[in-house]
Every structure is written in C-alpha cells, then in structure tokens.
Amino acid sequence: MERIRVTRKLNRIKDPKQKLRNFNNLCEAYKIALEGGWSPLDEHANARLRKELIGIDLNEALLLFESYHKAKGTRPKSLSTYRSTVNSFIKYHGGNKKVNTITDFEITDFLNFKEREEKWAGVTYNNCRIGLNNFFRYLKVNKYISENPVTDCETRKKCRRSPIRFLLNLISRSSWIGLIKMTNIASSLCA
C-alpha cells in the first residue's frame, strides 16, 4: 500500500494560526471530495466521476466523436454525414448544452422539426436518427452519458416510390385529367 501525504506545503508555514487555518481548509476540501465519491486510491473511478459530474458539451463531444472515427479509419463520406447530422443537431440545441442533459424528447423534437421544415421523407428521417444514434452510442460507451436517448425514438415507415408515380411526374399537367384513375392506383400501391 502506497503512503499518501498531502501537505500542500503546510509544513512551510511558520505562523501556527495560519497553518491551522490552511489545514482546516484542506481537511474540509478532502471531506467534501470524499463525500462526493472521490477516491484517493482509484483513479479510474475518479475519471468516471469527473465525466458524470462535469460532463462535456455537444461541441466537445463532436470533436471526440470525429477523432475516434478518424482513428478508426471511417470513410470520409461517412464521417462527413455524421458531422453534418450532429452539426445540425448542435445548431438546433446550441453547442454549449451538456450531453448528459439531453433527453429522448429533445431528439424527437429535433427530428420532427427537421421533417416538417425540410419536408424529409421517411428514409431521410431514419438516416438522421441513425447518425444521432451512433453519436450518442459512442458517448454511452465512453461513459459520458448513462443512457442513449435515441434508442426510444420512433422510426418512420419507408414509402417505396412506385414507377407509376414517377411517370406521372414526367407527364405534363394538361394530360393529368385523363390519368386520374392511374393516380388512384399509384396511391393504393404506396399505402
């Protein structure tokens, strides 16, 4: 067992009253730290505690996520997609927001907003959800968050485009009147 001597240079102070005051301050600081979960013997537990108490914000998390994927050898296109998705989320919620305070409601709110404003299809919604899921899964694995908020978010049904609808888009507006029955068939295929 290693002996731990933390004096903070108390033995260099000559005035006994000043020495006692500094000792009491040091003793109180260690008491608060120990009650808060700090361990003088387990540095891994202390690092975990720092992550839980202090946390990181979205900007820092994105930098860590990017460096992880660069070291892993992720394709540049995939990395660009992740960065775009997370940057969009950061722009919506602000980069100073702590990652351990984000809830599934905020994820769903962001996805629904983007779906409405940018008229996303189900596939785009699901791809953005997958990108955010990977980001928050990385944070969970590295103990920055205790639970992935994206796992409880719903996915959208993918509607396959029918070839008839594609052809209808190519036909001029004046020809549509005679093709109303074909439109009904196309909409029943997509349902």
* Residue 133 within any structural domain of the chain: yes
pLDDT at site 162? 55
Residues 27 and 73 in one domain: no
Residues 23 and 42 in one domain: yes
**pLDDT confidence bin for 187, thresholds 50/70/90:** low
Cα 108 from Cα 129, distance rounded (Å): 9
Count the helix, strand and coil residues of the chain and give each as a percent rounded to the nearest 5. 70, 0, 30
Residues 64 and 92 in one domain: yes
pLDDT at site 52? 61
pLDDT (tens digit per residue) in 94-151: 888 888 888 889 999 999 998 889 888 888 888 999 999 999 999 988 888 888 988 8
Residues 62 and 131 in one domain: yes
pLDDT at site 132? 93
- Closest Cα partner for 145 from 43, 52, 66? 52
Cα 75 from Cα 95, distance rounded (Å): 25
Q: Partners of 57 in the beta sheet?
A: 98
Residues 31 and 102 in one domain: no
Residues 32 and 71 in one domain: no
What region does 9 belong to: left with phi over 0, alpha with psi -120 to 50, or beta?
Answer: left
Mean of the pLDDT values across residues 181-185?
A: 65
Q: From the DSSP assignment, how many helices (H) and strands (E) are in the chain?
A: 8, 0
* Residue 124 within any structural domain of the chain: yes
CATH assignment at residue 79? 1.10.150.130
Residues 127 and 93 in one domain: yes
Residues 41 and 66 in one domain: no
Residues 67 and 134 in one domain: yes
Q: Residues with Cβ < 8 Å from 122, sequence gap 6 or more?
A: 156, 157, 158, 159
Domain tally for the chain?
Answer: 3
Q: Partners of 98 in the beta sheet?
A: 57
pLDDT (tens digit per residue) in 47-101: 666 666 667 888 888 999 999 989 989 899 999 999 999 999 999 988 888 888 8
pLDDT at site 134? 93
**Domain containing residue 135:** 58-141
Sign of CA dihedral 119, 120, 122, 126: negative
57 phi/psi in degrees, rounded to 5? -95, 175
* Residue 4 within any structural domain of the chain: no
Residues 115 and 102 in one domain: yes
**pLDDT confidence bin for 191, thresholds 50/70/90:** low
* Residue 150 within any structural domain of the chain: no
Residues 63 and 128 in one domain: yes
**pLDDT confidence bin for 40, thresholds 50/70/90:** low
* Residue 113 within any structural domain of the chain: yes
Mean of the pLDDT values across residues 14-29?
A: 81
> Residue 99 corresponds to which tokens in the numbers above?
């990652």
* Residue 155 within any structural domain of the chain: no
Mean of the pLDDT values across residues 19-37?
A: 77
Residues 27 and 64 in one domain: no
162 in Cβ contact with 74 (< 8 Å):
no
* Residue 34 within any structural domain of the chain: yes
